Structures are given as C-alpha cells and as structure tokens.
Amino acid sequence: MSKEVLLIGKINSFIVNAAGKGLEKEGFAVKRTAPDITAIDKARDETRVWIFYLNGPDDVNDELLVYLRDHIAEEHILLTLIGNPDELKDVQAILPEEDIANSYERPLDVHVLAEGLERAFSKVEKDNEKKRILIVDDSAQALKTMKGILSDKYSVYMANSGVSAITFLAKTQVDLILLDYEMPVVNGPKVLEMLKSEPSIEAPPVMFLTAKGDKQSVMTALALKPVNYLLKSMPPEELIRTIDEFFEKR
C-alpha cells in the first residue's frame, strides 16, 4: 500500500521541513499542510496517517484540536504528535489518549518516527481487511459504547447526526449502517429515506438502533424495510452475533 502521510506544521519551519525530507528519504510520500482547518481539508484526500508537528504555542488552538478529534473518531485517522512537553500536554487535554497513535518529544530522530509510522500503516492495512460499519447516533456515549463493542472485529466509523452520515457516505463506502431510530432534527427513518433517494450514494444495508421494544414501535420500524431492528439494551455478545450472522449470509 502507498505510504502517504499528511504532515501538519508551519510551512516555513526549518525543523518541520527537515522532518518531511527525512521521512521522504525513509520511503514515505509526504504531503505538507499548514496547521489550519481549511488547508488540512484541501490537502487531506483519503490519507489516514497524519503527523501534527507542534512548533510554537499558536499551533495549539481549541478549534483545530476539536477538528482533529472529530475526524480521528469518525474516519479512523492515525495521528502522531511531535512537540515539547507543554505542547503535548495541551493537546492531550483535548484529544483522548486512545485517539493518538504515537507521541514524541522533539528533537526527534526521524528513524524513530519512521518506525512508528510503519506500525501505523500496518494497522491501516489490517483495518482495511475488516468489514466497515458506520454507527449513526446523536449520543456521544452511545457511539463510544458501540465502537468499544464492535471495533475488535469490525472497522467502525461514527457520525453524530444524519447530515454527518450523508456527508461521510458521499466519500466513504461501508458495508453496514447501524442507525439510531430516534435522533432529533433528522431521525433514522428520514436518514434512510435520504440515502435511498441520493443518486451519488450506493446505500448500504441499514439496521435500526432503538431503545423501544414494544410491538408497535417494532412494526413501524420494520415497515421501512431495514435489514434488522436492534435494541440498544441487547447484550454485547448478542449484538456481535447478530451482525456476524448478517455478514455470513451475504
């Protein structure tokens, strides 16, 4: 697979440029971008291995860190941080530890960085062999819980609204959607309707997630023709078994 990395850091920084050149000598394709949300969006493409080279206090701003946090969670970005101890501490206050693939203090030996990136690409390759599941739920806790249950066996993506899900699916294919039935603003049935009517999206199979198990709620949901209807209260092992059986029959 192509070893392309996105290097986020000051464009005119000597040490950031030196890191980029060093990685190129190690066989990586390095795409450079400034630590700016607009610039990152233009440069990122489908690259999943990112490096954020912190080189000054103005690199650490909440808006950029929230952007990184959201994209890491939703798109399986593997992020490596490089900085001094204070900069790393500031970033780690916003980005959960599990969202950071590697963290290094500068000055950094580029060979050490290259070894860490090789491990990241190995993880990407393994993830690419798994079935892809998108979980759509407005509850951050529900997303985290479901990801924790499924991520050992499946490559799990997350969206916190129907609109985010549609945007994500326009550029990323998945094998199954677990869709919250009762979301506010744009609920599960409406998202399913939007998916079926959007010509640019090949709608994946959908399983509804709901807290309601009464007969009327079940019948109403099944009338929309999802492939299944899952209660959020079901035991983790039953959830995994249900999804396993779905993929085995396809």
CATH number for 183: 3.40.50.2300
Mean pLDDT of 95-118: 90
Residues 94 and 170 in one domain: no
Query: Can you name the residues that pair with 83 across neighbouring β-strands?
Result: 105
Domain count across the chain: 2
**Domain, as residue range, for 149:** 130-249
CB 154 within 8 A of CB 133: yes
Residues 169 and 103 in one domain: no
Domain boundary among 81, 111, 127: 127
Residues 65 and 41 in one domain: yes
Q: Is 111 exposed, middle or buried (0-12, 13-18, 19+ CB in 10 A)?
A: exposed
Domain boundary among 127, 153, 176: 127
pLDDT score for 163: 85
> Residues 192, 193, 194, 195: is their CA dihedral positive or negative?
positive
- What is the Cα 47 distance to its own chain's centre? 12
Residues 122 and 26 in one domain: yes
Name the residue among 7, 27, 2, 135 with its Cα closest to residue 76. 135
Residues 45 and 74 in one domain: yes
Determine if the peptide bond prior to 107 is cis (ω within 30°).
yes
Q: Is the pLDDT of residue 25 over 90?
A: yes
Residues 214 and 106 in one domain: no
pLDDT per residue as tens digits for the range 191-208 = 888 877 776 677 789 998
CB 239 within 8 A of CB 226: no
* Residue 61, phi then psi, degrees to nearest 5: -130, 145
* 222 or 128: which leads in pLDDT: 128
